[in-house]
Amino acid sequence: MRQTYAIIGLGRFGGALLETLVANGQDVLGIDINEEHVNDYRDIATQVVIADAQEDDVLRKLDIASFDHVIIAIGHNMQASILATINAKDLGAKNVIAKAENRTHLRVLTKIGADFVVQPEREMGERIGRKLLAPNMLNFIELSDDYSMAEVQIVNPAFAGKTLSELKIRKKFGLNVIAVRHDGEVIVAPEASYRVHHLDILSVVGPKDMVDDFDQMTNK
């Protein structure tokens, strides 16, 4: 579905986000105080403007409240990030996503009303750490503090040849198998009678600690 996005801050993070959204057919307004950054995306974004989002009049003139999503992607200037977030929320922006540099910044952004806060560097570090510790866990998505979704490859030969029913994954680990990838084919909501093959990739969702336990069991 085509939606509208306003990205405030066109550094590495904001620029990459802008390019991804535009490449997928979305309408994107790019905003940055730096003329050089704006010029980098003038031929890519739907629209770009040189503006200081710390000034509420600027965002009001851009009708920031009309966008489906507003992303505060300002880098190391915490004051600018905080003021831009406050201004966007005060003007009625619907879904404000803000980038935090550290835990303190994250707490402040959450406190002032950001709908969602991301820490790209921290999240990438955790992702790489998990990949190093659990090489057969191909993808990991944190759904909340307690729950996650992961793609786990079946390396343990003890799992191969058994049905999902026989493996009792939900009973033993509290996990739901929502999809299976076998030889490039994806089976969504597989039947309990599905027989698991060696190197199948199971998409599971459930408590984080159980996802980790399941990954360890499938890697033996």
Per-chain mean pLDDT for the chain: 91
Domain membership of residue 14 as a residue range = 4-118
Check which CATH number belongs to the domain holding 106 and give it. 3.40.50.720
> What H or E segment, with its residue span, contains residue 160?
none
Distances (CA, A) of 103 to 98, 130, 184: 13, 20, 40
The token pair that represents 81 in the structure block: 């990030």
The DSSP line for 114-143 is: -SEEE-HHHHHHHHHHHHHH-TTEEEEEE-
Same domain, 86 and 102: yes
Same domain, 101 and 134: no
Residue-wise pLDDT tens digits, 159-185: 999 999 999 999 999 999 999 999 989
Which of 118, 146, 163 is a domain's end point?
118
The per-residue pLDDT for 212 is 86
Residue-wise pLDDT tens digits, 124-139: 777 777 667 666 666 7
The token pair that represents 170 in the structure block: 């939900």
Please give the tally of structural domains in the chain.
2
Q: Give the predicted TM-score (pTM) of the model.
A: 0.69
Same domain, 134 and 99: no
Same domain, 34 and 107: yes
